């Protein structure tokens, strides 16, 4: 009996509390940077595409919404010739972001993907690419990795030792 | 003379429009109040403060398909929602909003009120039966059990009021409260009547006939379109009716310090309606057996005790 009156009193005290509602179209929600929204492809600090078309994101995608075609440029760098995400299938799980070895694919706090036509939700590479480095401002995969590309031989990367001479007997 | 005739024609129309508009406003008012008590905002898009939400709802309901299931007992199915609206509107004709604004000033008004609100349970029984749906039938079975149980002491709890004022006439009962409202000498009677009124109108926490989590929508599961709308508005008008009755019987009706009579009546009724909504916002639903046991074991003895004490005090 007393607990019933107490709960009525608690609810009545809410008369003077502010509603928690965010009046969305007029008032924008304050979303965290790690919010899982629309997927973007970022660039490295030098302004070049990060994606190396390794297919890890499209393999890990549980709904198979990512389609990639790989290619290689004249410097020996791999890049995606086409990169297509079908946002009408995407479930925003973020597994592609976790799988990406070059931090290229990232989920952004934009969630306003409403469209009248379903086919408009298929985003091509030019729709996905952004001009900045996204959540990892300093990371440049080719500077870290021990991969030789034109302009950088093996052992010239950041914090990288010169390759071991396998023909020498000295330690 | 002609003025009297005009009043005689307009008065019933006003008396009919008051409950209809109260029922309509409650659809919006309940959602807004529930939102306040749940730290939300509620409908606030259509019109100022969302006031036109009622219009939007009505238009939507009007254009919906009015589907009668092929397996239903068609005649009874159509009749059931009409009964609840009819009984409640007839009940409103008994209510003296002010000393002048009363359609049917009967000397046994309170008894007619009981008779009509008992008839209202036929609507729910027939709706559940004619739907040929197990959930609807279960809902109406619960409803009948609940109404039969709670009508007994709803009547008994008001007998104290009747003894004190010595009349079944609602105007006499209000006039007997000029000095002190009935809620003070009749507090037990009020408490029992309040709980019984909650059960009569199927309001939470006693909304077992419509328990969504168990019975889809209870007795009106199969109803759609305007027939559902009749049950919906009927429920809200039932709340208004019960709150208006409580105002008349326990809160001195139209009596107030200054200002027009109708204003005081409406303020008291609206506060009582708000308290109904507050209970909906705060209390969980009991089990069926708990509800029935609570009624017979506690409320019935309490109302009989109240009746006996009042009778003894009045006799002395």
Query: What does the H/E/C string look like for B97-139?
Result: CCCCCCCCCCCCHHHHHHHHHHHHHHHHHHHHHHCCCHHHHHH
CB–CB contact B37 A11 (8 Å): yes
The listed CATH number (3.40.190.10, 1.10.287.3510, 3.30.1280.10, 3.30.70.3270) that belongs to domain A31-137: 3.30.70.3270
Residue B1 scores a pLDDT above 70: no
Scanning B248-287 for CB atoms below 8 A from A yields 278-279, 281-283
Average pLDDT, integer, range B235-247: 89
pLDDT digit string, tens, across residues A114-154: 889 999 999 999 889 898 888 888 888 887 777 777 777 77
CB–CB contact B35 A19 (8 Å): yes
Average pLDDT, integer, range B82-91: 89
Residue A157 scores a pLDDT above 80: no
| pLDDT value for B292 | 86
pLDDT digit string, tens, across residues B248-266: 888 887 887 887 878 888 8
The answer for residues whose C-beta is within 8 angstroms of residue B212's C-beta and 6 or more apart is B218
* Angstroms from B103 CA to nearest CA on chain A: 37
In angstroms, rounded to a whole number, what is the distance separating the alpha carbons of residues B172 and A169?
A: 118
Q: Where are the domains of chain A?
A: 31-137
| pLDDT value for A63 | 93
Chain B residues touching A23 at Cβ < 8 A: 41
Could you tell me if residue B154 is inside a domain? yes
Average pLDDT, integer, range B49-56: 85
Q: What is the mean pLDDT of chain B?
A: 85
Could you tell me if residue B41 is inside a domain? no
pTM as predicted: 0.76
pLDDT digit string, tens, across residues B170-185: 888 888 888 888 888 8
Q: Is the ipTM of this complex over 0.90?
A: no
Could you tell me if residue B156 is inside a domain? yes
* Chain A contact for B46 (CB, 8 A cutoff): no
Residue of B nearest to A10 (CA): B282
pLDDT digit string, tens, across residues A43-92: 988 888 888 899 999 999 999 999 999 998 888 788 899 999 999 999 99
In angstroms, rounded to a whole number, what is the distance separating the alpha carbons of residues A124 and A84?
A: 5
The answer for residues whose C-beta is within 8 angstroms of residue B271's C-beta and 6 or more apart is none
Residue of B nearest to A13 (CA): B37
* Closest CA relative to residue B276, chosen from B186, B190, B202: B202
Torsions phi, psi for B221 (to 5 deg): -55, -40
Could you tell me if residue B53 is inside a domain? no
Give percent of chain B above pLDDT 90: 0
Give percent of chain B above pLDDT 70: 100
Look up the domain containing B209 and give its range. 68-315
| pLDDT value for B249 | 87
CA dihedral angle for residue B141, residue B144, residue B149, residue B155, rounded to 10 degrees: 170
Per-range mean pLDDT, top range of B18-22, B63-67, B224-228, B300-304: B300-304
CB–CB contact A4 B283 (8 Å): yes
* Tally of domains within chain B: 1
Chain B residues touching A17 at Cβ < 8 A: 39
Could you tell me if residue B10 is inside a domain? no
pLDDT digit string, tens, across residues B267-289: 888 899 999 888 888 888 888 88
CB–CB contact A17 B282 (8 Å): no
């Amino acid at each position: 009996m007393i607990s019933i009156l107490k709960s009525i009193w608690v609810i009545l005290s809410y008369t003077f509390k502010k509603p928690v509602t965010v009046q969305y179209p007029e008032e924008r929600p304050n979303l965290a940077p790690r919010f899982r929204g629309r997927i973007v492809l970022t660039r490295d600090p030098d302004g070049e595409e990060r994606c190396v078309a390794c297919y890890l994101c499209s393999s890990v995608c549980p709904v198979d919404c990512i389609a990639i075609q790989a290619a290689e440029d004249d410097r020996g760098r791999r890049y995606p010739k086409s990169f297509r995400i079908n946002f009408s299938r995407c479930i925003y799980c973020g597994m592609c972001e976790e799988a990406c070895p070059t931090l290229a694919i990232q989920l952004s706090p934009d969630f306003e993907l409403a469209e009248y036509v379903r086919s408009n939700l298929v985003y091509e590479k030019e729709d996905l690419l952004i001009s900045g480095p996204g959540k990892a401002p300093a990371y440049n995969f080719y500077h870290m990795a021990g991969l030789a590309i034109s302009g950088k031989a093996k052992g010239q990367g950041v914090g990288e030792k010169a390759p071991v001479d396998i023909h020498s007997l000295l330690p | 003379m002609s003025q009297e005739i005009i009043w005689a024609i307009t008065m019933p129309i006003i008396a009919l429009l008051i409950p209809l508009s109260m029922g309509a406003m409650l659809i919006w008012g309940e959602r807004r109040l529930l939102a306040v008590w749940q730290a939300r905002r509620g409908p606030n898009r259509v019109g100022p403060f969302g006031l036109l939400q009622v219009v939007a709802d009505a238009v939507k309901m009007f254009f919906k398909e009015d589907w009668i299931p092929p397996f239903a007992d068609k005649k009874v199915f159509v009749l059931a929602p009409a009964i609840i609206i009819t009984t409640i509107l007839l009940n409103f004709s008994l209510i003296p909003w002010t000393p002048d604004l009363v359609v049917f000033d009967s000397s046994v008004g309170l008894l007619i009120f009981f008779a009509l609100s008992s008839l209202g349970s036929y609507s729910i029984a027939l709706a559940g039966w004619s739907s040929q749906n197990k959930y609807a039938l279960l809902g109406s079975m619960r409803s009948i059990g609940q109404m039969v149980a709670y009508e007994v002491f709803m009547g008994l709890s008001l007998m104290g009021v009747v003894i004190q004022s010595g009349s079944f006439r609602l105007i006499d009962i209000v006039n007997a409260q000029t000095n002190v409202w009935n809620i003070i000498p009749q507090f037990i009677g009020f408490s029992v009547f309040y709980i019984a009124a909650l059960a009569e109108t199927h309001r939470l926490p006693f909304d077992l006939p419509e328990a969504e989590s168990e019975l889809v929508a209870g007795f009106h599961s199969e109803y759609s379109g305007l027939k559902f709308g009749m049950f919906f508005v009927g429920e809200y008008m039932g709340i208004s009716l019960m709150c208006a009755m409580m105002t008349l019987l326990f809160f001195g009706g139209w009596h107030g310090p200054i200002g027009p009579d109708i204003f005081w009546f409406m303020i008291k009724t609206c506060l009582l309606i708000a308290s109904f909504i507050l209970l909906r916002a705060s209390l969980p639903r009991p089990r069926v057996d708990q509800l029935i046991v609570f009624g017979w074991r506690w409320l019935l003895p309490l109302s009989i005790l109240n009746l006996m004490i009042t009778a003894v005090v009045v006799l002395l």
